Chains A and B, each alone.
Chain A
């Protein structure tokens, strides 16, 4: 008989002292998951949403609950022409959220609207914009040409649910020592450079990869564009690109999807083999990260030492995605500068 502790742990870690949903585009689906004439139910930034594609190919994203009697538009809801039809009383809503048809009533009241969200389809993914004050997006998600370039293998994706804040997910990338401790790399990778520009936060790392007993340098470039969108470019003997989308689902849940493309190169079979190997490695590392992220607490004033990565620099940069900047970026101890 195994002896298990009957006392729970981690019950008091609380929630981060950060607004739960930074202003950002968040991926809610892959394009192929929403073919013409279908509706898909998703949750993001604390809202339940439906994503639907009309017969005209255009996407709409609406609040999932019908303003009439509250039925979920995505559960047995259907698309008719370019509108989503509620399963309960068959009210139709277009992509702007406007009610366009009620079969049993000619006069449609002005209040009969579902909240509509800004949607952007890019890189084979569907993004929805969240701003806690309803402002228009400052920037779009960048186009990543490799995702549709025939010189690169089609992407493969991995999604992991994590019980952590979106900001913590990106912080992991600049946290150099964790690579050694959590992922077992030979050394703490050198952070070669951190570049902060208006449109992204770039960290360049040089890691060492043990390949049949020989240590080879690996250049890694992590570009965080928005809380919901990051790219990781890895130059090994193969070129690898990871497009990482992070979606704040609820206050306790974030999902992260890694879409991985590998350059075909001269020997495509080798690239496929490498992709398989790489996916396995990514999956292993994600599981390792989860073991920490699912249980960690957000320390507003962390104790940092000189070898830590530019954690505070990252946090300062990230604070631009909060409407209430004072709450997110109070002046605090900053070792790295």
Chain B
């Protein structure tokens, strides 16, 4: 017997809206060659960009201006001039980058709320020994938080301790740093949540690694960089995928019941309000 009842049809809107103001990644730079073009929907608006022969980018539609840094073309979404700048990260010393694209049914704010909601780490991602090393700091348009966790190695009982820090710039760009002291390995991961149509996000990931340990051991680990990069990128994509089914079926509750042990959800949400509604006077930094 087949049950034809669908099971997600309540009438109150379940997802957060509208799309926030901020910088959003459109496309990896290497996918937009000279003379090439890209078109898509960003923040529910049609957008088309072309790269001229001299390498410059021109756009059509309501978005802009555009900047290109750290392997992506970003567009500003929101009325008027951008109210903050995106810091560029140095590329020297870092491995080649791996790019990955995940389509998610969610909202950018939900993607990043996840990074301060550390109570879900052990349940969804099976992290253990979670320690908040750097409590959430909010400053103007940016947020920073840092943890130490231990994570099972894929297909093994061994656990690796790592430290990771999230630096969020608006609700579209997260620069994440992960350090695994035992391996002397650092990972840099850009997690870029771009709202497309209502309720949908394209999440761009860009992962690169580096080994800075001196000596023979250092030379040996550096030789394994391509392997380490592939494994790390795979682990990161795996962890994001674990969140997808929660995101796709959850509802955004305006007044969640929170307890001691939850992350600073309320403070994060109050900070996030600046990216909606009219631009506050004198907000340009």
Taking beta carbons and an 8 Å cutoff, which residues of A are in contact with B? 28-30, 33, 41-44, 46-49, 64-65, 67-72, 74-76, 87-90, 102, 104-105, 107-109, 111-112, 157, 159-161, 247, 249-251, 253, 255
Contact = CB atoms under 8 A, between A and B. Distances in A.
A249 B10 CA distance: 9
B132 interface: no
Contact of B11 (A71, A112, A251): A251
Interface in B176-230: none
Given A69-B253, A105-B261, 11 more contacts: A43-B10, A68-B256, A70-B250, A72-B251, A75-B245, A87-B123, A87-B124, A89-B262, A104-B259, A107-B260, A159-B1
Contacts of A69: 117, 250, 253, 256, 265
Given A46-B11, A89-B123, A105-B261, A70 B4 contact: no
A65 B6 contact: no
A279 to B, nearest CB: 12
A39 B258 CA distance: 24
Interface in B34-71: none
Contacts of B137: none
A251 B11 CA distance: 8
Contact of A41 (B2, B7, B246, B256): B7
23 contacts: A28-B5, A33-B3, A43-B10, A48-B7, A65-B251, A65-B253, A68-B257, A68-B258, A69-B253, A69-B256, A69-B265, A70-B252, A88-B246, A89-B262, A102-B259, A105-B259, A105-B261, A108-B259, A161-B4, A247-B5, A249-B5, A253-B9, A255-B5
Q: Which 8 A-B pairs have the closest CB atoms?
A: A72-B249, A41-B7, A104-B261, A250-B9, A105-B259, A70-B251, A70-B253, A75-B249
Given A69-B250, A71-B246, A107 B3 contact: no
Contacts of B152: none
Interface string B235-261: 000000000011011111100111111
Contacts of B123: 87-90
Interface in B115-140: 117, 119-120, 123-124
A29 B3 CA distance: 8
Nearest to B123: A90
A71 B246 CA distance: 6
Contacts of B2: 159
A250 B253 CA distance: 21
B119 A74 contact: no
B260 A105 contact: yes
Contact of A48 (B1, B10, B120, B256): B10
B8 to A, nearest CB: 6
Interface string B97-121: 0000000000000000000010110
Contacts of B10: 43, 46-48, 250
A33 B251 CA distance: 25
Given A69-B253, A70-B252, A90-B123, A109 B259 contact: yes
Contacts of B246: 71-72, 75-76, 87-88
B259 A112 contact: yes
A253 B8 CA distance: 12
B8 A48 contact: yes
Residue of B3, B7, B246, B250 with most partner-chain A CB within 10 A = B7
Contact of B7 (A33, A42, A70, A157): A42
Nearest to A76: B245
B119 A104 contact: yes
Given A43-B8, A107-B260, A112-B257, A159 B245 contact: no
